[in-house]
Amino acid sequence: MKRTLLTIAAAVAITAGLTTPKASAQTLNMDMSWGIRNQMMYQAQGEAAARAAAAAYYNYMQRLRQMGYTGPSLPTGVTPQTLQAANQRLQQAYDSYNRSAANNSQRTSNAINDWTMQAIRGCYPVVDAYGQKTYVCH
């Protein structure tokens, strides 16, 4: 009994001494700086476009005032309805993208499963009584 405990203690000590403090299966650091740079660039482009649109409207209204226009400011075209419509289009694009990604993932999964069932397991596809594709294996 004493000899078994000493053997176990020695094995634990050796194992503890051989292991490194770092895990051996660590992922590499991913350089995402390009994504951050692109995000900042697109943000700057959007801000510049908004500033340009605001400046164009402001300059147009100034020219109208210089020519004698005394009425209210002209509508800009930006209303709660146009913002809501833009947000709806953005949401539709997002949903469409996600639906496409899910469909593509499902097609890939189906293809891998089909290959696995037929090539590796030796099964063959059949359609069951409910119209669903299934496999019969030997």
Q: Is residue 62 part of a domain?
A: yes
Q: Is residue 119 part of a domain?
A: no
- How close are the terminal C-alpha atoms of the chain, in Å? 51
Q: Is residue 110 part of a domain?
A: no
pLDDT higher than threshold 90 for residue 52: yes
Question: How does pLDDT run across 100-138, given as a tens digit for each residue?
Answer: 999 999 999 989 998 888 888 899 999 999 999 899 997
Question: What does the pLDDT read at residue 3?
Answer: 65
**pTM, to two decimals:** 0.46
Q: Is residue 66 part of a domain?
A: yes
Question: What does the pLDDT read at residue 21?
Answer: 57
Q: Is residue 43 part of a domain?
A: yes
Question: What does the pLDDT read at residue 18?
Answer: 55
Give the CA angle between residues 100, 27, 24 to the nearest 5°.
145
Q: What's the total number of domains in the chain? A: 1
Distance CA 137, CA 118 (A): 9
